[in-house]
Amino acid sequence: MELFNDIIKAFSFPELVSQDGGKVDGLVIAVHLLMLALFVGWLIYYGVAIWKFRSSRNPKADYKGVKSKTITNSLEGGIIIVELALVIVATYFWNFYVNAADDYAHVTAMANGSKKDLHVVRVTAEQFAWNAHYPGPNGRLGKQDKALVGGDNPFGIIRDDVDGSDDIAVLKSDIIVPLIRNYRVEDPGETDFKIGELLTETEFNEAIVQYGADSFEAIKDGSIRSITIDLTSKDVIHSFKVLPFRVCQDAIPGLNIPIHFKPTKTGRYNLTCAQLCGDGHALMRGVIRVVSEQEWNQWQKTESAKNSSNQQQASVTVDKVKA
């Protein structure tokens, strides 16, 4: 019985901690059903062929074989149908995977910095570790300049710029992301919100303080804010794979590739590298820590303060050296 349970477990999906991850599981199931249909179809064809061309019925080999084109044509037609189905089904599910984020506009916000609510983490892979760059309390990722890359500034963040001044860089450590349950604005009332706008709990509470509890109406609609990982690599191709989120994306040097997911549960989840990237590949593990919105806000404040005090210290040292 225990063995039976183990077998069932081995063939089950791993824990699902992502709001859209079920669609990826759906794709896996659909592809397997298709493969099962192909397998059974070919088995039947094989059986019929063995029976029909058995030696007792055909004592002498016929080198011309079947002359009718019916079988060949119907097989080729079948292959075309199956391949079309593969492309259509795969595109349908892939569409959910890459386009589903209704709050995906924040990716474009990375370019113009207009939206303040940016849940983007810039992840840079290297042999053999993961590094993360966060937007900090102002919610905007700083601009980067490769001339500034160095030991104390591995991401080359432009610190003089207002966006980059409070950014957080964490090297070779857990990647922290927030679990944010959206409030959807039903009735903007006296506020500047639009109907349907999504607020974080922080924004909701701030609005209540500013306008009063009865001045507008927003409810938790069950949706979760998507987290965008803006992925790149410093050296070779790596791959960012977190099974519980059903996310796997190559990290390619010179490219910034966004990938998003909506975590449904706080906790620690394993991040592995899914591309053989060198002799330390097997040890290239990381942790994605999903924290509550409150913890996320607090963490950003603490880390950002640490970063800026480090910076002040560094500039004091530089001034001393100059003097």
Q: Rounded to the nearest whole angstrom, what is the least distance from the CB of residue 238 to Cu ion in the complex?
A: 3
> Alpha helix (H) ranges present in 152-292?
201-211
Tokens representing 32 are 């397997």
The minimum distance between CB 130 and Cu ion, in angstroms, equals 9
Helices H / strands E in the chain, number of each: 6, 13
Residue 225 or 238: which CB sits closer to Cu ion? 238
Q: Which is nearer to Cu ion, 177 or 271 (CB)?
A: 271
Query: How buried is residue 61: exposed, middle or buried, by Cβ count under 10 Å (0-12/13-18/19+)?
Result: exposed
- The nearer residue to Cu ion, 238 or 246, going by C-beta atoms, is 238
Q: How far apart are CA 148 and CA 157, in angstroms?
A: 7
Residues 6+ apart with CB under 8 A from 2: none
Identify the DSSP state of 282. G
CB of 272 to Cu ion, least distance (A): 9
146 neighbors 159 (Cβ within 8 angstroms):
no
How would you write 237-254 as a 3-class SS string?
Answer: CEEEEEHHHCEEEEECEC
Instruction: Tell me if 167 sits within 8 A of 141, measured CB to CB.
Output: yes
Q: SS3 for 48?
A: helix
Least gap, CB of 267 to Cu ion (angstroms): 23
Strand 217-224: give its sheet, edge to edge.
198-199, 181-187, 217-224
CB closer to Cu ion, 220 vs 285: 285
Q: What are the Cα distances from residue 74, in Å, to 8, 54, 68, 80, 243?
A: 37, 23, 11, 10, 40
Per the omega criterion (within 30 degrees of 0), is the bond before 39 cis?
no
Contact assessment for residue 147 and residue 171, using Cβ atoms and an 8 Å cutoff: no
Residue 281: CB minimum distance to Cu ion, A? 5
Cβ proximity to Cu ion, 120 vs 251, nearer residue = 251
133 or 238, CB closer to Cu ion? 238
CB of residue 98 to Cu ion, shortest distance in Å: 22
Q: Which residue has the tokens 């937007």?
A: 135
Task: List contacts with Cu ion (CB under 5 A).
Answer: 238, 273, 277, 284
> What is the nearest approach in angstroms of Cu ion to the Cβ of residue 236?
7
Nearer to Cu ion, 284 or 288 (CB): 284
In whole angstroms, how close is the CB of 177 to Cu ion at the nearest point? 20
> Cβ of residue 184: shortest distance to Cu ion, in angstroms?
39
Alpha helix stretches (DSSP H) within the chain? 2-10, 21-52, 70-99, 105-112, 201-211, 293-322
Q: Which is nearer to Cu ion, 107 or 252 (CB)?
A: 252
Q: Which is nearer to Cu ion, 214 or 279 (CB)?
A: 279
Element (H, E) at 181: strand 181-187
